[in-house]
Copies of this chain bind each other. A is one copy, B any other.
């Protein structure tokens, strides 16, 4: 049996918390028997369930907190007033070393702001990025940043590429993951100055990555590269455009099957195969956005998810911890700096001059 792994959970974050969180742990504890959970939240709300369900209680420890960060609270508000919140306290458990990672389905902006303040970024990384897996024609790909940084410079994009590469190698187990920079064309002259500059930096042979150049929006679904790197504005719009299109197709196809008796029979016959598609593209399967680049593992679950989705987000945190993602990142950035004899800002100046 592997060594015990402790995660701290924000039990009060998410539309259906804390019930959804508790049910999520019931699923997660079977998948990850080595996991133990520090549950931050209202003891009065959590206690009765834990008394009833002894299997659950055996892997959980409740830490009472009074406050909850609201979904509409601005990050700055949450930082000022949220020190007694379940979210802040759950993050503190990672900072203190009690927990190896934190999972919350609460307010994304507040979670990122608090995690940045408490955990700080890893050496060599200026800004953390949000990353997630996406379905493609060739397995899954990873896209980052999905919204932590609305505006990014070339250095940020290079750092995201290195983090994405390490993720592909350590967590996904790819031996040589390919990286693409999201743009509006694949030719060298396409896009913004920042993208052209980042592309020049990524082509630098001292970086230990396999950069394929620019990719376009449809390359995400095609699975052209393993890691899609972009700024947080573009990544967030692309992610949500993809989610919207998935819902559109699901709705059109459901409508088609319900539109006649023959179609209903057809659906009944094809159901086992169609269920595989449903499972393959289930948003819960892809739940668990990673805050990469922090001194500690932090995973954001979708606020509207259910127990299964939350359990998947817990699984993402377990994966990041188990595969030593952060230690590898630190090593990679030291290698980059040794190989180039420069820090990344220096690399940029070298590329420009």
Contact = CB atoms under 8 A, between A and B. Distances in A.
Contacts of A270: 256-257, 262-263, 266-267, 270
Interface string A255-282: 1110110110111111111101100110
A277 B248 CA distance: 11
A233 B191 contact: yes
Contacts of A246: 245, 249
A216 B108 CA distance: 15
A191 B269 contact: no
Contact of A241 (B135, B191, B221, B263): B221
A59 interface: no
* Leading 5 A-B pairs by shortest Cβ distance: A217-B240, A221-B244, A266-B270, A266-B269, A218-B244
A281 B249 CA distance: 9
B256 A274 contact: yes
Nearest to A276: B256
A239 interface: yes
9 contacts: A150-B191, A192-B233, A217-B241, A220-B245, A222-B244, A252-B277, A262-B269, A262-B272, A266-B273
Nearest to A233: B184
A247 interface: yes
